[in-house]
Copies of this chain bind each other. A is one copy, B any other.
Amino acid sequence: MSYQKIMEKEKTDKKDYILDVAERVFSEKGFDGASTRLISSEAGVNMAMLNYYFGSKEGLFLEIFNRKISSFQNILQNLGNDDSISAWAKMEQYIEMYGEKVVNNNCFQKLLYQEMGMNRRTDLSDKLRDMLMKNVTELDKILKEGIAKGEFKTDIDVPMVIATLYGTKNYIINTPLMSSPLLGYDITDDNMIETKLKPQIKSFMKNLLKAYLHN
């Protein structure tokens, strides 16, 4: 490996590390509440480095999202095109994948819906909406297929089902001060998330939607 490549890698790692730290700080304090001085100090780099790497505070902020948007694409897709399995089996798969993938990336999820809430930066919000909509569309397709096949009831409220799946997860993840005493364990603990929350949320969602959707 050439020195250049080592440098590139180190540079990328450093940028990535700064992005990780910034993601956390932004999610804790909000865009305006997180000063560049705090972010740089937490990351252990000089303040000017943020502008050197990312141009501006907003550039840093946007980069956090761009990094994730690429890795988020097509996660939950290509489920609707398979005709060999039932719509309900697809739903179960969706819940599995969703519960697995999305309960992680805790900080980013918080940041994501924080940014979607206040719709400054209209272009970013639009990009994020499109990103999220891809998964929503897939879920929409599965539900409508289940109705058409006669597998699900004909009078189910498709948009509301989607809102329930996403909303329940968001509520738990983004409001640990409520959900931790509610569930009886610490939602912010990664170990608890893995061993208790993930199974619980998957199991509950399957039972809930099974009861609601099925004939």
A104 on the B face (CB < 8 A): no
Which chain B residue has the least Cβ–Cβ distance from A115? B177
Which chain B residue has the least Cβ–Cβ distance from A160? B204
- How far apart are A107's CB and chain B's nearest CB, in angstroms? 11
Query: For A178, what are the chain B residues with a Cβ–Cβ distance below 8 Å?
Result: 116, 129, 132-133, 136, 166
- For chain A, the bracket of interface size reads 35 or more
- Name A175's contact: one of B113, B177, B201 (CB within 8 Å): B113
This chain's copy number in the assembly? 2
| B30→A118 contact, CB < 8 A | yes
| B163→A129 contact, CB < 8 A | no
Which chain B residue has the least Cβ–Cβ distance from A128? B177
CA gap between A170 and B174 in the complex, in Å: 11
- How far apart are A111's CB and chain B's nearest CB, in angstroms? 10
A162 on the B face (CB < 8 A): yes
Take A129-B177, A168-B168 as given contacts and tell me if A160 and B116 are in contact as well, using a CB distance cutoff of 8 Å.
Answer: no
CA gap between A138 and B208 in the complex, in Å: 21
Query: For A170, what are the chain B residues with a Cβ–Cβ distance below 8 Å?
Result: 167, 170-171
Q: Which of A7-15, A42-50, A179-187 is the interface stretch? A: A179-187
Query: For A129, what are the chain B residues with a Cβ–Cβ distance below 8 Å?
Result: 177-178, 181
A164 on the B face (CB < 8 A): yes
CA gap between A203 and B114 in the complex, in Å: 28
- How far apart are A31's CB and chain B's nearest CB, in angstroms? 7
- How far apart are A195's CB and chain B's nearest CB, in angstroms? 16
A200 on the B face (CB < 8 A): yes
| B200→A179 contact, CB < 8 A | no
A: residues with CB less than 8 A from B are 28-33, 110, 113-114, 116-120, 125, 129, 132-133, 136, 157, 159-160, 162-164, 166-172, 174-175, 177-179, 181-184, 200-201, 203-204, 207-208, 211-212
